[in-house]
């Protein structure tokens, strides 16, 4: 006789690769440690050393880096599943590993000796800011870098920080047909000044502080041209993924958003079976309204998951030839996942009533985390407008 399938067991029957199962098992082993340190991370606004060391030992911070540079080169599907599962446990952990996954993609653009030095010779994080808020002055053999950057998620456990800058000559931006020339420059964290700025609604444990760099020389080999990131990295035997940086990045943030939504739904289901609202005669779980709204939240999360899986397939198979059509699909997917995940979390928090407002409730934290995560540019609602313009024959812009 075949085993009777529950809703959850049926969901788990979806096709999952052996690689994904292996990596999810690694997360499962880390789950007690992550959960045990969740409140400490929130309180201290930084990932505790013991958790980072466990993540590093499991190889999660290098899962999206080429094997040639000390990584595991896992598939988009596997990496996304890992980030989602981490986000169910602690969104701040997921966010930091996702950011490292995105910045790790720059290893395919850097000269190979530099990529090995940053990602293989050093085993801590390589994170930072890709918004060009600094300036890089060309000099012999490299650039003089200076500026201030934000959102250095995971910087407490970093050896290197990336700094995006506008190339400047005679105090003016060096112009290209597409606008000011930009470049990403890698600097040892020891040469940066960290600023204690991360006081936020959610994702508090990421320690995403601002940082400054005074006038510092950066060799040419430790830089990446900004426009190159719009295209897949050039082929070489060490290349891990034939996918452009900006077509890869949204999978990390979207996966975190989905994991938050899934965690919130699971937390609400536990609450619903135990809570009888004031003046009511039965639990939340027996309310027809609750049943309907919960099912809609489940549908939102499930739809987002399917969209992200579909986009991952297209990115993996058409990273080199997809062009703007692929970029538009990925941006549309990311914005939709963010919208779905936010509505799913908001919905179950509304259903939970006053129980969701207490810091002791996991729903309170999921609510804060999702509303912080979706402020990231990769999840911006502006993608709907920009993709709509593209679908009507216009160019695909990041923002107006």
Residue 13's pLDDT band (cuts 50, 70, 90): low
Do residues 245 and 229 make contact, with C-beta atoms less than 8 angstroms apart?
yes
Residue 1's pLDDT band (cuts 50, 70, 90): very low
CATH 1.10.540.10 corresponds to the domain 14-107: yes
Over residues 177-212, the pLDDT tens digits come to 889 999 999 999 999 999 999 999 999 999 999 999
Q: State in words which class domain 125-226 has.
A: mainly beta
Element (H, E) at 312: helix 288-318
Over residues 112-141, the pLDDT tens digits come to 999 999 999 999 999 999 999 999 999 999
Over residues 209-256, the pLDDT tens digits come to 999 999 999 999 999 999 999 999 999 999 999 999 999 999 999 999
Residue 2's pLDDT band (cuts 50, 70, 90): very low
Whether the per-residue pLDDT at 9 is higher than 60: the answer is no
Residue 10's pLDDT band (cuts 50, 70, 90): low
Q: Reduced to 3 states, what is the DSSP secondary structure of residue 64? A: coil
Element (H, E) at 89: helix 76-89
* Residue 320: Cβ within 10 Å count: 14
Domain ranges of the chain: 14-107, 125-226, 249-391
Do residues 167 and 183 make contact, with C-beta atoms less than 8 angstroms apart?
yes
Mean pLDDT, residues 340-354 taken together: 98
φ and ψ at residue 101, rounded to 5 degrees: -60, -40
- Residue 154 DSSP one-character state: T
- Considering the chain, what is the average pLDDT of its residues? 95
| Cα 187 from Cα 223, distance rounded (Å) | 9
Tell me the whole-structure pTM to 2 decimals: 0.95
CA-based nearest residue to 346, from 254, 261, 255, 258: 261
What CATH number belongs to 249-391? 1.20.140.10
Helices (H) and strands (E) in the chain, counts: 13, 10
| Cα 351 from Cα 368, distance rounded (Å) | 16
């Amino acid at each position: 006789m075949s085993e009777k399938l529950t809703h959850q067991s049926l969901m788990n029957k979806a096709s999952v690769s052996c690689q994904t199962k292996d990596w999810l098992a690694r997360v499962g082993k880390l789950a007690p440690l992550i959960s045990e340190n969740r409140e400490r991370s929130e309180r201290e606004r930084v990932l505790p050393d013991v958790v980072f060391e466990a993540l590093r030992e499991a190889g999660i911070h290098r899962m999206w880096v080429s094997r040639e540079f000390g990584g595991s080169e896992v598939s988009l599907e596997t990496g996304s599943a890992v980030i989602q599962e981490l986000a169910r446990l602690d969104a701040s952990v997921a966010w930091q590993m996702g950011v490292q996954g995105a910045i790790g993609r720059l290893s395919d653009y850097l000269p190979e000796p530099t990529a090995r030095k940053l990602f293989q010779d050093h085993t801590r994080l390589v994170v930072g800011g890709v918004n060009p808020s600094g300036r890089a002055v060309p000099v012999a053999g490299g650039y003089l870098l200076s500026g201030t950057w934000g959102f250095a998620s995971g910087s407490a456990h970093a050896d290197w920080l990336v700094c995006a800058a506008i190339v400047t000559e005679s105090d003016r931006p060096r112009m290209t047909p597409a606008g000011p020339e930009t470049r990403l420059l890698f600097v040892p964290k020891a040469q940066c000044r960290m600023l204690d700025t991360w006081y936020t609604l959610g994702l508090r444990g990421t320690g995403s502080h601002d940082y400054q760099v005074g006038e510092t020389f950066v060799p040419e080999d430790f830089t990446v041209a900004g426009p190159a990131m719009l295209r897949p990295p050039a082929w070489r035997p060490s290349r891990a993924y034939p996918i452009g940086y900006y077509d890869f990045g949204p999978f990390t943030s979207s996966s975190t958003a989905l994991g938050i939504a899934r965690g919130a739904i699971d937390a609400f289901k536990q609450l619903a079976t135990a809570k009888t609202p004031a003046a009511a005669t039965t639990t939340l779980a027996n309310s027809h309204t609750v049943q309907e709204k919960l099912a809609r939240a489940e549908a939102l999360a499930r739809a987002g998951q399917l969209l992200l899986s579909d986009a991952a397939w297209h990115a993996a198979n058409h990273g080199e030839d997809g062009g703007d059509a692929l970029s538009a699909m990925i941006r549309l997917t990311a914005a939709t996942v963010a919208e779905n995940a936010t509505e799913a979390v908001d919905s179950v928090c509304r259903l939970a009533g006053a129980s969701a407002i207490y810091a002791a409730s996991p729903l309170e934290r999921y609510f804060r985390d999702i509303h912080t995560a979706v402020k990231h540019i990769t999840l911006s609602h502006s993608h709907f407008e920009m993709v709509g313009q593209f679908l009507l024959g216009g160019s695909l812009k990041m923002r107006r």
